[in-house]
Amino acid sequence: MRHGVKLNKLSRTASHRQALMSNLACELISHKRITTTLAKAKALRVYVEPLLTRGKNDSTHNRRIVFSYLQDKEAIKELFGVISEKIANRPGGYTRIIKLGKRVGDNAEVALIELVDFNEIYGTSTDKTPAKKTRRAGGAKKKAGADEAKAADTTTTEEKSAE
């Protein structure tokens, strides 16, 4: 049983795992998408999303914290420059994992992990307005408003036909 286990150790020591996650995160930030095994992609998502959240607020403190994880100045520039502009109004969920099947050599599950806002295929919208937050309970009010609008339209057409 895995009571409370939040971290996949990936059969590595702590220092090796830290170096692996740092390198994968730097490559993801610089290339916007990478292909790796499914287990590494899932572990990378947990590692990199808090760093992307830090990247939204450009301050010296946040830069130093992210640098302590990544150890790559170019990745820091990319994160606090280009990426922070794109993810500024996103409340989380910066990465997407797409399963690609099994690898030929060792039959390992392979996945593509990418930054959501940098994909041109999925979810391209022309306007930059944030999505409107609605609740399911609000549907009855909209229907009542639509019925009133239809009734007003029919009365105006009846008046025009009477003239």
Rounded Cα distance between 120 and 117, Å, is: 8
If you average pLDDT over residues 84-101, what whole number do you get? Answer: 94
pLDDT at 6: 85
The pLDDT confidence band at residue 110, using thresholds 50, 70 and 90, is very high
pTM: 0.73
Rounded Cα distance between 89 and 60, Å, is: 21
pLDDT at 135: 73
> Residue 100: left (phi > 0), alpha (psi -120 to 50), or beta?
alpha
The pLDDT confidence band at residue 158, using thresholds 50, 70 and 90, is low
Please determine, for residue 118, whether its predicted confidence score (pLDDT) is greater than 60.
yes
pLDDT at 136: 75
